[in-house]
Structure 1
Amino acid sequence: MTLHRRGNLANHLAKIEKGVQGPKAVKVGFPKGKAGADVVSIAVWNHFGTSRGIPARPFITIAMFKNRRQIRAALRKIAEGTVQKGTPIATQMPKLGALGTGMIQDQIAANTPPPNAPSTIRQKGSSRTLIDTGRMRQSVTWEVDK
């Protein structure tokens, strides 16, 4: 992109400045008010573990770490869209939220170790970790941080 005239540069900079206004973050996982308190509790117990025998399976951390290159590429694309085309960051946040949601849902479905205890397998009839009814996985969502 070449901006030869001073007016074009000023207009372009104004467009970029306008594009970076507004929210600059998206919350992914179980944002407050987006999932029931019981689902949030189950997610917290499973992510961090409990002193009562539920081992930590940090599925959100794992999902974000495993996909960090893809997340960086998405952020780069958002920045390029804002700088090159003046696309507002706020209009691009839903794509980032959907991307992160899918990553977390995929990690929940990936049978995150450690394996379930034999008593848990008997109780729920499955050896799949983090999935019993599928409700927690279905409750993963996102929201633009205002």
Structure 2
Amino acid sequence: MIKVKVIRTKVGKGAAGLFAAFRGPDKVLVGFPAGEADSDVIERAVYNNFGTSRGIPERPFMQNAMRNNRRDYQAMMKAEARNIVLGAVRGQDASRTKVNALKRLGIKAQGDIQAEITSLDTPPNAPSTIRQKGSSNPLIDTGEMRNSVSYKIED
């Protein structure tokens, strides 16, 4: 008769590590989060993005950036979720892994919005605005609005 002894070796934290993956921050705000940009920059961004009844046309740079890169964000979130779960099961700090994933997503979306601000050219500026600014780029005057785009990780 042969006796077989099964020895199980636990690697990482198993299910406990998996549950830890669900703690901590769970969203990233991108654009002009409150407290991250000056109120005058936020106001300018809102007027330019949505337009005004005073003649500023809608230039939806934020929506364009999100819509044009949606598949990239979905693929990135899927890959990051897999990394978070696998890391948690292996005993890695799931909270830190999740924060790092949100940072990477925030940096990508921030860059996409900034790129859209740079490349958006319709509707064009009025000739008087071009004369005043010395530029035909509708969303860039000093570059302050583009440089103020940021991200913030929240619970």
- Does the alignment reach a TM-score above 0.5? yes
Q: Could you list the runs of 4 or more consecutive aligned residues of structure 1 that deviate by over 6 angstroms after TM superposition?
A: none
Which of 140, 146, 152 is the aligned partner of 1:131?
A: 140
Instruction: Determine if contact 1:28/1:101 at 8 Å carries over to the other structure.
Output: yes
Which of 83, 102, 117 is the aligned partner of 1:108?
A: 117
For 1:76 and 1:129, the matched residues in 2 are separated by: 35
For 2:51 and 2:19, the matched residues in 1 are separated by: 44
Which of 65, 72, 80 is the aligned partner of 1:63?
A: 65
1:119 is the counterpart of 2:121: no
Alignment-mate amino acid for residue 16 of structure 2: A
Percent of matched pairs sharing the same residue = 45
> How far off its partner does 1:140 sit?
0.2
> How far off its partner does 1:8 sit?
4.5
Decide which structure has the larger Cα Rg and report it: 2
Unaligned residue ranges in structure 1 (runs of 5+): none
What per-residue deviation string (whole Å, max 9, x for no partner) do you get for residues 63-103 of structure 1? 00000011101111110111212243223211111111001
Alignment of structure 1 residues 67-82 onto 2, 5 Å: 67-82=69-84
1:94 is the counterpart of 2:103: yes
How many residue pairs get aligned? The number is 142
The TM-score with structure 1 as length reference comes to 0.90
Unaligned residue ranges in structure 2 (runs of 5+): 1-6, 89-93
For 1:14 and 1:6, the matched residues in 2 are separated by: 17
